Copies of this chain bind each other. A is one copy, B any other.
Amino acid sequence: MTDKVVAIIGGGVIGGGWAARFLLNGWDVRVFDPDPEAERKISEVLDNARRSLPGLSDVAMPAEGALSFHREISEAVAGAVWIQESVPERLELKRKVYQTVQEHCRVDATIGSSTSGFKPSELQGSATDPGQIVVTHPFNPVYLLPLVELVTTDANDAPLIERARALISSLGMYPLHVRKEIDAHIADRFLEAVWREALWLVRDGIATTQEIDNAIRYGFGIRWAQMGLFETYRVAGGEAGMAHFIEQFGPCLKSPWTRLMDVPDLTDELVKTIADQSDAQSGAHTIRELERIRDNNLVAMLRALKTQDWGAGALLNAQDKVLRGVLALGLEQVDIGQPIVTVQRAVPLDWTDYNGHMNEARYLQAFCDATDRFMQLIGCDAAYISSGGSYFTAETHICHLREVHAGARIEVRTRVLAGQGKKMHLWHEMFEGKDLLATGEHMLIHVSLETRRPSVPGAVVEAGLTRVAQAQAGLEHPEGAGRFVGAPR
């Protein structure tokens, strides 16, 4: 029996997103939603999550948990250590749900609410055990965006809060612990401020929905995606410092620019104006198409931030470290007499090209990752490299044998064909299941990073390489090694 059991109460876009997050991180997911369409709706969210989330990671994610649907809350919460509530934003409804949940759930279970507006003290209200209830407010698409606002009250004890933080982190998400509860927590206060201002701009005919979206995404939106508000202004302020910047910027705040003290009346006319403009802007795509475009964009940008180890990309890298599994083992723990598993991952959405399959350069990227892992295994790790030694690739030969598509799980296994002195001759085989997709043959030269010239590796690295080379010396010479381009098959 596993302890990774979660109950999802309410299976709309948000509840479905949570279900996908948990499921793809290896949890068993038990769903309650009275909507007869719930199963279809959740399966659509799951489709989107399955195509985007696994490839966001540079290592293999755990095997999916089991998904089940239940007719009663009592049945759904049985055995669950976490209960995520995402029912509509009506306080009385939420309280009623908690009552039923608490009659049947484990006493050590935690109930997280996806509410974007209510304070946890309001949710706890007259509950049997208020201390079980916290706010865990995520952002759509829940399966890709890392932010979770964790809002607690004095009724929640410290160990429960710590468990909640750990759980959110284990899902590859970021628990932003809001220490003082306020309406709408933190992020949605900004969203609301912007939304009000946007309504006025449309209502007054200053800008269309498309112009507003462009003003955001071509300017501060992409800036905020990596540094947020304050760090962006810190950079803009320059060496004079943040205090100086605020003093300069301060007087502008006195101008009565924003009209946010009022709320524009949502007249039929205004609603129609927005809906019409939105149709003109985005109507060429269905919502399903837009969801996939959005997810493609998010995956590509998040993976870009991974290469910089910054912002949401740094969170993903940290999560990858936890998930490395067999790729975290040391030389002692690996069967080096056989080809060594050096890559296990899903093909990301952004590795596909116009031919509808993984682009040829991404094969080399995966082989390059395999080489990196092999180097690390023999002691040529980050610490060794920062001490001034590394391997540079001198020569590469790739045979493409089969196509592979986004989402496929691939594995690279690596052999040493020769390893002595400055040379390291590697052979990679890439598989999807039992199918050989490609081979990579690589000659690497050990270099001094100071002179950028060939040099003898350090003793530890030389010993590690020799050990693997000797252990694999008895393996049959791989078919295709030593091949030149265009050689007869």
Chain A binding surface, main DSSP class: helix
A271 to B397, CA, bound (A): 60
Q: A252 contacts which chain B residues (CB < 8 A)? A: 89, 117, 192
Cβ of B246 and Cβ of A275 under 8 Å apart? yes
Q: Which of B189, B260, B287, B397 contacts A397 (CB 8 A)?
A: B397
Cβ of A183 and Cβ of B147 under 8 Å apart? no
A7 to B307, CA, bound (A): 38
CB of A269 to closest CB in B, whole Å: 12
Nearest B residue (CB) for A286: B239
Known: A296-B308, A304-B301, A350-B307. A220 touches B191 (CB 8 A): yes
This chain: how many copies in the complex?
A: 2
Tell me which of A149, A228, A274, A282 has the highest count of chain B C-beta atoms within 10 A of its own C-beta.
A228
Q: Which of B253, B392, B442, B484 contacts A263 (CB 8 A)?
A: B253
A212 at the interface (CB under 8 A from B): yes
Nearest B residue (CB) for A482: B484
A104 at the interface (CB under 8 A from B): no
A300 to B442, CA, bound (A): 28
CB of A114 to closest CB in B, whole Å: 13
Tell me which of A219, A229, A302 has the highest count of chain B C-beta atoms within 10 A of its own C-beta.
A219
Residues of A within 8 A of B (CB): 13, 89, 117, 139-140, 145-147, 149, 174, 176, 178-180, 182-184, 186-199, 201, 204-207, 209-232, 234-239, 241-243, 246-247, 249-250, 252-255, 257-258, 260-261, 263, 266, 271-272, 274-275, 277-279, 281-282, 287, 290-291, 293-294, 296-298, 300-305, 307-308, 310-312, 315, 350, 354-356, 359-362, 364-365, 367-368, 382, 385, 390, 392-400, 403, 418, 425, 441-443, 449, 452, 481-486
What are the nearest 4 A-B pairs in CB distance?
Answer: A213-B228, A147-B219, A221-B224, A300-B304
Cross-chain pairs A/B with CB under 8 angstroms, 10 sampled: A176-B214, A179-B206, A193-B194, A226-B297, A250-B266, A303-B304, A354-B390, A392-B400, A394-B400, A395-B400
